[in-house]
Amino acid sequence: MSIIKGSVFGNDRKAFKRLVVLYLFLAICLMFAACDSQQASQNASQQQTVESDQAKKPGYMIAIEKGDYETALKELRPLAEKGDAHAQYNLGLMYAKGYGILQDYQEAAKWWGLASEKGERHAQYNLGFLYRKGQGVAKNCKSAEMWWRKSAKQGFILAQSDLAAMYGTGACEPVLQDYVESAKWAKMAAEQNYAMAQYNLGTYYEYGKGVRQDYKEAARWYRKAAEQGDARAQNNLGLLYEKGRGLSQDEQEAVKWYLKAAEQDHGYAQFNLGKKYDDGKGVAQDHSEAIRLYLLAAKKDISNAQVMLGVKYYKGEGVKQDFIQAYKWFYIAAQKGYEPAQKAIKLTSKHIKQSQVEEAIRLAKEENISSVN
């Protein structure tokens, strides 16, 4: 038997190519049809999920989300009067915000009080806030502390954070300052990834308030907050890198974190970054950039930045030498009793006349910085 060479189409290669093209076309069509079917199935599933979620929500919540406060109130009030804690909380919220009704903190306190007694943690927190501020109720820090504690024990982050702040400052008598208690509540909120609490806990570890001083722990909590964009934590983490506290000293890492905070308009970070540019540490030396950053910080009334800006004008580094401008910034910083500025004023006075001193003071007042006016 002889072997047949070629394809079943014989020598008709064109016919074979046409069949291949047709096959590929059909395969692609089937593929897209399957994808469309799968996408349609996914869309239907997602739609069902959305509809299911909506179905779980009380009607008044859907109305509130739509801004239909009249409908929400009609549904809320009967439920609240029947003792529904969630409805009582939301009715109190509408009174506090003035949603579809005249703002009334007394009514808010009333409904939050009823919900709080049933253990509604959001109502407990808000009721505590009213007692702290004296809105709708007589100011009573002890009552605020009591309701925040109840809410905080249920894991509500804002209650934990505000309770930590209350104990940390001791500014709400008769609740006394207690760093141990403050650190305890701050840690609870921090462990729930609340950036503000992570920053505060970092400061406690850095300075040994309420906890044993531990720079590594300070750096750990600062980093958690910094990575969430907290500018204060970013600046403080930069400082730890600069000083080599709890971390290996690293000027470039310090610059990195100062920059992140400075870009968020954090005044101390702008000063710290300016100093890096001034000294050429962790970044190429650039006196002009240093001056730009010092100016941003100086206008936020940061004394160190004001003095450094004065020094730049005094020496003529990165800017044309100008004793009037130097005196102006020294004068602004000196108004807060900043000793280096007071000494710099005496030195600068030797280079200018009395009329120029008066001009410098006039220019200082035009800066509209609170410490001068």
Q: Tell me: pLDDT of 41 over 60.
A: no
∠22-27-30 over CA atoms, to 5°? 125
- Residue 272: predicted pLDDT: 98
Mean pLDDT value of segment 39-62: 57
Arithmetic mean of pLDDT over the chain: 88
- Residue 160: predicted pLDDT: 98
pLDDT band at residue 26 using 50, 70 and 90 as cut-offs: very low
Q: Tell me: pLDDT of 48 over 50.
A: no
Least confident of 49-63, 98-112, 134-148, 225-239: 49-63
Mean pLDDT value of segment 340-368: 96
Residue 2 has φ and ψ, to the nearest 5°, of -85, 145
125-179 pLDDT tens trace? 999 999 999 999 999 999 999 999 999 999 999 999 999 999 999 999 999 999 9
**Distance of CA 23 to CAs 31, 36, 248, Å?**
12, 20, 64
Least confident of 20-29, 254-263, 340-349: 20-29
- Residue 56: predicted pLDDT: 73
Are 233 and 225 in contact, with CB atoms under 8 Å apart?
yes
Query: Distance (Å, rounded) from C-alpha 112 to C-alpha 288?
Result: 56
pLDDT band at residue 34 using 50, 70 and 90 as cut-offs: very low
Are 355 and 287 in contact, with CB atoms under 8 Å apart?
no
Q: Tell me: pLDDT of 46 over 60.
A: no
pTM: 0.81
- Residue 373: predicted pLDDT: 65
Q: Tell me: pLDDT of 111 over 90.
A: yes
Mean pLDDT value of segment 83-103: 97
Residues with Cβ within 8 Å of residue 308, at least 6 apart in sequence: 271, 274, 275, 278, 290, 294
Query: Distance (Å, rounded) from C-alpha 121 to C-alpha 151?
Result: 5
- Residue 370: predicted pLDDT: 80
Dihedral in degrees, nearest 10, Cα atoms 16, 21, 26, 30: 130
Mean pLDDT value of segment 181-208: 98
Q: Tell me: pLDDT of 277 over 60.
A: yes
Question: What percent of the chain stands above pLDDT 70?
Answer: 85
Residue 172, classed as helix, strand or coil, is strand
295-333 pLDDT tens trace? 999 999 999 999 999 999 999 999 999 999 999 999 999
Q: And the tokens for 67?
A: 């801004």
Q: Write down the residue that tokens 């609170």 correspond to.
A: 370
